[in-house]
Structure formats: structure tokens, C-alpha cells
Amino acid sequence: MMTAPPASTPTTPTAQALKAAPVLSPWREAWRVFRGNKAAMLGLVSLILIMLIMLVGPAWYAVDPFGIVAPPFHEPFVDSRYWLGSDYLGRDIVAGMLIGGRATLLVGVSSAAITVVIGISVGALAGYFGGWIDAMLSRLTELFQVLPALLFAMVLVTLFQPSLGVVICAIGMVSWTGTARLTRAEFIRLRGFEYVNAARTMGAGHWRLIWREILPNAMAPLIVSATLVVGVAILFEAGLSFLGLSDPNVMSWGMMIGSNRRHILECWWAVTLPGAAIFLTVLSVSLVGDGLNDALNPKMHLR
């Protein structure tokens, strides 16, 4: 007696699509999601253009940003030699925008790097060891968190000679608390996972578990946090420069705004243009950060 062949399991279009879909690595999948975010791609392209202009522009337009090269209050788009005009002293606005952009971006990236190093170190130790180490580092984080950040940065810059390095260190020292709290939460969540226990059973020490096992798996939200810190650092630098607490020998967008603020009615372009550059840069960084948040979040992939 012949038996009938087993009935084949019907495949739905969704199942066929899942079978046909290639398996991507986590970073390629994140890039696919990021690329599909139009706002994030717009921010990335805008940020790359700004960085290229700041990198190549001063070599193409070699004018001293502190040099008196034009009549004071020279309006923009009137003279091709000074097509963005001059400030109240006669300094070229284009030269100030190009050279000042370099200093502003340097402060943003360097301060974010200091913030990430301090925040990850404090948060990793607190989240991994727990106990009295967690209590001590958490109290230290809360102490810095309740201090007025801008006022504390002003005090640090005032105590030392105002320079670009001092400004970078001051901003980094007042901006690390958010990264530390995020790192601590991630380490508390990940330290009990099976792969961490397996590495500990195989003889891995504390430092290997922290830096080689847990930290790489906690990097996704930390990358997003580091991206957003760049925008915060740029605004911090602009605020300090506006108050006259930056290096007087280094041109920056904040310094351009601060030095021309008393002449905003007669020389509005000297304040508006660097302010617009700061706004566009911080907006681009924020869009990239939001895109990274979506791309590195597994829940967004499921959606």
C-alpha cells in the first residue's frame, strides 16, 4: 500500500521574503537603517561639507582673520574682495568664518573626546564593580551634575590663562556626567550576561571583562551620546567666547559674535553669519546623532 507523500508546508510571501533576504552584519544593517533616514543623511552630508570647507577654505582664501583689510562696517555682497563684508574693525568676515570654523570644530571634537574618556571610565568602574566603588563614583557624578556647567567652566577658564587647550579641558570636565550615567547603566545591564560569566569562568580578569567583553557591547548608545556631546561642546565654546573667556589670539565663531555684539545694529552680518554657522553645524550633528540612535537601536530594525 502506497503512502501519500507528506504535504509540503505552504510558504507565505513574508516567509519567502525572509528566506531571500541576505543576512547582514550588525554594522551593515545599521548603515542600511541610517541610509534610509533622510534627515540623518542630510545632516551627514551637511556636516561633511562644513568640515571640507573648514579644511580646504583657509588654503584657498589665505587672509589673516585679525588683519584690518577693509573699511569698518563694510556691507556684504558689495565688494568682490570682501564679499561677506567686514566687522566693526575692518576684519574680513570670510577669513574669520573659515579660520574660526576650524577652532570651533576642534573644540567640539576634542571636548567630546575628553568627555567620552572620563564618562566611560567613571561609568564602567561604577557599573562593573558596584558596592562602595559605585556609591563613591555615583556621588562624584551627582556632584558635578548639580554644578552649573557654564559657571563652573567660566571659573576653570578664569583660574588659568584663557587658551584653546584650557577651554577644551574645561568643557570636557563639565560635560562627562551624562556619558558616565549612561555607561554605568549599560554595564549594570550587561555584567550578568552569559558571555561575561563564561569569560570570567575561563579566567578573564576584571580589566579584560570591562574593556574587551562588556564595553564593545555597550558602544552603540555611547556612540550616539558622543555624537551629541560634540554639539553641546560647540555651544559651550560659543558661550565662553561670547563672554570673552576664550583665547584672544584664536579666532572662532563664538569670538566673532562676542566681539561684534555691541554693534549688532550697524554690523548685523558679523553676528548673524557666525551664528548661522553654529546653528547649522549643531543641527547637522543632532540629525546625525538621531540617525545613529535609530540605526544602532535593534528595536528600530524590527519596526
Q: Residues 44-67: pLDDT tens digits? A: 999 999 999 998 988 888 888 998
Do the beta carbons of residue 270 and residue 92 sit within 8 Å? no
Q: What is the DSSP string of 42-56?
A: HHHHHHHHHHHHHHH
Answer whether residue 15 is part of any domain.
no
Residue with cell 552680518: 269
Q: Does 11 map to a domain? A: no
Structural domain contains residue 99: yes
For the whole prediction, is pTM greater than 0.85?
Answer: no
Task: Indicate whether 156 belongs to any domain.
Answer: yes
Beta bridge partners of 68: 91
Cα–Cα distance, 82 to 63 (Å, whole number): 11
| Rounded Cα distance, 214 and 124, in Å | 9
Number of domains in the chain: 1
Q: Which residues are registered as beta bridge partners of 92?
A: 86
In a domain, 95, yes or no: yes
Q: Specify if 24 maps to a domain.
A: no
- Domain holding 138, by residue range, is 34-302
User: Does 6 map to a domain?
Assistant: no
Q: Domain of 276: which CATH number? A: 1.10.3720.10
pLDDT band at 18 (very low <50, low <70, confident <90, very high): very low
Cell numbers 549688532: residue: 264
Is 215 in contact with 125 (CB distance < 8 Å)? no
Comparing 80 with 103, which gets the higher pLDDT?
103
Q: Is residue 13 part of a domain?
A: no
Span 260-270, pLDDT tens digits = 988 888 889 99
